A = this chain, B = another copy of it.
Amino acid sequence: MTRYCLTIEYDGSNFVGWQRQTSGPSVQESLESAIEAFTGEPSTTIAAGRTDAGVHASGQVVHADIARVAEPRMVLLALNHHLKPLPIVVRNAWPVGPNFHARFSAKRRHYRYRILNRSAPAALERGRVWWVPEPLDLEAMRQAAVCLIGHHDFTSFRAAGCQANSPLRTLDRLAVTAQGEEIYLDLAAQSFLHNQVRIVTGSLKWIGNGRWPPERMHEILEARDRTQAGPTAPPHGLCLTAVDYNDS
């Protein structure tokens, strides 16, 4: 039995999310089936980020105990073979010590939210971006974003069903950048509350389109009240891009 760390990429559109559920196909179930097809043994996988239905990942990190001796390169090829034709791939696979835990050892999670800001809907990037046709004021969004960086009580940016013990989180990064017709929101923190990135995004959109002034963001944060924040942005604009560990 060797513990492996796997970096995986998936198109979350047609999954109920990372986590195994009875309501439909999950990424976790698909990956565990591929591991079982390779090793002949059932396997339980643990992911750094339990992405919601429709959320994508380019750099999700997972650990799994693999009950078959093989070169790491063979593990990668075999799992990708068994994952076909699903839109889930293993980008990297390497053996780690038995104490490595994809979720608890993670030092920082990186998410990118993509907004397509133009009159025309998305054709090529459909399902990967949130289409916002009204003009967004990037400077106002940047101004508003600053107050969220640091250690705060993020109760206002937390889904009703969030199961975290504490609403306190440290947001290390919240960058607002433009790339052609797209706006990227890049966030990093050791951990996030449920829907935190999407509620921050929905609030920044209402500031960007002028519905609220930039100063409103600080009031929302202080209010510690979910009803004061903006809407939860749709899942398909969100992607878990990377997870940092001590030695990476």
Contact of A58 among B11, B121, B124, B126 (CB under 8 A): B124
Instruction: Verify if A50 is at the interface (C-beta below 8 Å from B).
Output: no
Given contacts A124-B56, A124-B128, A128-B124, contact A77 B9 (CB under 8 A): no
A87 touches B126 (CB 8 A): yes
Bound Cα distance A118, B122 (Å)? 27
| Copies of this chain, count | 2
Contacts of A122 in B (CB 8 A): 89
Interface residues of A, count at CB 8 A: 26
Report A129 CB to chain B, min CB distance, Å. Answer: 12
A124 touches B11 (CB 8 A): yes
Contacts of A87 in B (CB 8 A): 123-124, 126
Query: What 1/0 mask marks residues of chain A from 138 to 181 whose CB sits below 8 Å from any chain B CB?
Result: 00000000000000000000000000000000000000000000
Contacts of A118 in B (CB 8 A): 91
Instruction: Verify if A90 is at the interface (C-beta below 8 Å from B).
Output: yes
Given contacts A87-B126, A126-B87, contact A120 B10 (CB under 8 A): no
Instruction: Verify if A105 is at the interface (C-beta below 8 Å from B).
Output: no
